[in-house]
Amino acid sequence: MTHAIQDGVLPVPCRHAWDPVRSSSDVGRQILGFFAGSLNSCTRRWAHELFGSAAPTPSSSDDLRKLAGHRIWVFDSPMGGDGPPGDDAEGTTDVFSFDAQRPGELLYREALWSSQFCLVFNGSSSVNNVRLVEAVMHGCVPVIVADDAHPPLDNILDWRELAVFVRTRELVDLPAILAAVGPGSVAEMRRALARAAAMLDTRRPEFWNSFMTVAMHGVAMTLGG
């Protein structure tokens, strides 16, 4: 009898950590769905065609507060105008080499804390990218838009409790899909994100415990196969 060996996928290092107050809160999340970044994939460009704002990407807290209405906002450039967040090709995921207090970084975090759902597309990499982990760290329920996705630590974490999965062809139906996720379900997912955040934070011992579990599982499957 043979066994299929599934490779363990590790999270991309993220420059942010879970905030026990802001990330856990359901309060002040007036934005239904949010994305801001380079349109460097077909899926991102289509999302911008469907939900893109005619207004420029918010560059101040006042701009962010003007995003009235519980709707989806997709912007075609990074927040704050002083460098891209996340996995944009010209950006950085280095957790040690960024200024956490620069205006664009603070504004980006406020946008994530103001959103119920954060859209995760493939871009210069797969959907297993830093944006996915950033969404988790801000308690913003990830919406993974992909036809094939292999989230990090998925042999330990049940991502069906952490994220909404949408096939690319369903992107046009995204408002209805998100509207169908009730407040109670969103709150449960945010509590699940709180539990998962430490396991996805490469600076935390919980991550390394998870890493060893994945590694030992791979060894056992290899020897057993």
Give CA separation, 206 vs 24, 156, 184, 210, 213, in Å: 19, 12, 27, 6, 11
> What is the distance between the alpha carbons of residues 84 and 88, in angstroms, rounded to a whole number?
7
DSSP assignment of 185-222: HHHHHHHHHHHHHHHH-TTSHHHHHHHHHHHHHHHHHH
How sure is the predictor about 217, in pLDDT bands with cuts at 50, 70 and 90? low
Compute the average pLDDT of residues 97-122.
87
Mean pLDDT over each residue of the chain, to the nearest integer: 85
Give CA separation, 117 vs 24, 60, 72, in Å: 14, 21, 9
How many other CB atoms are there within 10 angstroms of residue 209's CB atom? 13
Higher pLDDT, 119 or 54: 119
- pLDDT score at 27: 92
pLDDT digit string, tens, across residues 20-70: 999 999 999 999 999 998 999 999 999 999 999 877 888 888 888 887 667
Q: Is 89 helix (H, G, I), strand (E, B) or coil?
A: coil
- pLDDT score at 97: 53
What percentage of residues in the chain have a pLDDT greater than 70? 82
Helix axes 130-137, 183-200, angle to 10 degrees: 120
- pLDDT score at 185: 96
pLDDT digit string, tens, across residues 178-195: 999 999 999 999 999 999
> What is the distance between the alpha carbons of residues 133 and 151, in angstroms, rounded to a whole number?
10
